[in-house]
Amino acid sequence: MRILVTGGAGFIGCNFIRYEIANYDDTIICVDSLTYAGSLNNLKDVADNKNFKFIKADITDEQAIDDIFKEYNPDIVVNFAAESHVDNSINNPNIFTKTNIFGTQVLMNACLKYKVKRFHQVSTDEVYGDLPLNSEKWCIESAHIKPSSPYAVSKAAADLLALSYKRTYGLPITISRSSNNYGPYQNKEKLVPNSINCLLTGKKIPLYGNGLNKREWIHVDDNCKAIDLIVRKGREGEIYNISTNEEKTNLQVARAILAKMEMGEENIEFVEDRKGHDLKYSMSSNKLKQELGWKQEISFREGLISTIDWYLENKDFLK
């Protein structure tokens, strides 16, 4: 099979490509415009693989995308390409609308034209909006969506567009909504690598507000395995949540990093809260577990330790 992976030079995309190349003999065509968040360094170890091809292109460029589909005729498209940082979406929302919504539409138009067998949209728990900190509710896939930030809204809109392409044109789509990922190759704008980088450069870990906002954390390898299962075995038109229910406050994450790096809590500073900061997200992954047999393999405890070790061994990545 030929699998076209967009955004494959970014964090989750490059880990997904690595997983696919290690486990299958399929051809992987990576399409990425190499924004500040993408780098060919993230793909160095697969660059020379006979099954791998990289193409620099923007998913909002209709002509470029059409040319790529015409030439490579992919069987499957997995769309990781996105503007992914909530803080950036607060300061500069327009590019989020363009890349995350219009870019997804450009890809789906090409999928229809070239009769792609599966379009998979990589989405997020943020589309469900937040829950009170003390809530014990879990969102299932049919829950109402009420995204808060411009980022979350752009992802929710892309999800709805994908569902509309299934219903209106019969495009065979699937959608995965995962919780917060951590692991190797994550841009240092995000909490875990940013915290490690701050500690390595003599700065304190900045935490928004009182640090008590909660997220569910998943190791990127567990997410990539889930996406692979959904892409290959998930039912057309379906949404699958991917979550571990390993709920941690940002403060707990910072403390775990400090403990592993043998540093004290004086290395945390509380900074002005993010505008409209979501309190907590919580999802059930029962559908994914029951239908496709997915299970979490990496606990937050062991995953965070191996992740910190990776950044310590790859300090150049943080530069």
Ligand X SMILES: NC(=O)c1ccc[n+]([C@@H]2O[C@H](COP(=O)([O-])OP(=O)(O)OC[C@H]3O[C@@H](n4cnc5c(N)ncnc54)[C@H](O)[C@@H]3O)[C@@H](O)[C@H]2O)c1
Strand segments, DSSP code E, in the chain are 2-6, 27-32, 52-56, 76-79, 118-124, 173-178, 180-182, 205-208, 214-219, 238-242, 247-249, 268-271
Among positions 151-190, residues that touch ligand X (CB under 6 A) are: 155, 178, 180-181, 187
Q: Could you give the C-alpha distances from 186 to 20, 84, 146, 310, 317, in angstroms and in order?
A: 18, 11, 27, 11, 9
**Shortest distance (Å) from residue 83 CB to ligand X:** 6
Residues with Cβ within 8 Å of 112's Cβ and at least 6 positions away in sequence, in order, are 165, 169, 171
Closest residue to ligand X in the complex (CB): 10
Instruction: Give whichever of 101 and 205 is closer to ligand X, judged by the CB atom.
Output: 101
**Shortest distance (Å) from residue 147 CB to ligand X:** 12
The set of catalytic residues is 125-126, 151
60, 174, 282, 296: which one binds ligand X (CB under 6 A): 60
Would residue 126 be called left, alpha or beta, if left means φ above 0 and alpha means ψ between -120 and 50 degrees?
Answer: alpha
The total number of residues shown for the chain amounts to 319
Among positions 72-131, residues that touch ligand X (CB under 6 A) are: 80-84, 99, 103, 122, 124
Count of residues interacting with ligand X (CB under 6 A): 30
Among positions 180-239, residues that touch ligand X (CB under 6 A) are: 180-181, 187
59, 106, 191, 224: which one binds ligand X (CB under 6 A): 59
Residues with Cβ within 8 Å of 136's Cβ and at least 6 positions away in sequence, in order, are none
Question: Residue 11 interacts with ligand X (CB under 6 A)?
Answer: yes
Nearest Cα residue to 86 out of 96, 101, 72, 71: 96
Question: Residue 303 interacts with ligand X (CB under 6 A)?
Answer: no
Instruction: Give whichever of 27 and 186 is closer to ligand X, judged by the CB atom.
Output: 186
**Residue 160: how many other CB atoms lie within 10 Å:** 14
**Shortest distance (Å) from residue 240 CB to ligand X:** 13
Instruction: Give whichever of 25 and 316 is closer to ligand X, judged by the CB atom.
Output: 316
Among positions 33-52, residues that touch ligand X (CB under 6 A) are: 33-35, 37-38
Residues with Cβ within 8 Å of 114's Cβ and at least 6 positions away in sequence, in order, are 69, 70, 73, 74
Tokens 């399929």, residue located:
26
The footprint of ligand X (CB under 6 A) covers: 6-7, 9-13, 32-35, 37-38, 58-60, 80-84, 99, 103, 122, 124, 155, 178, 180-181, 187
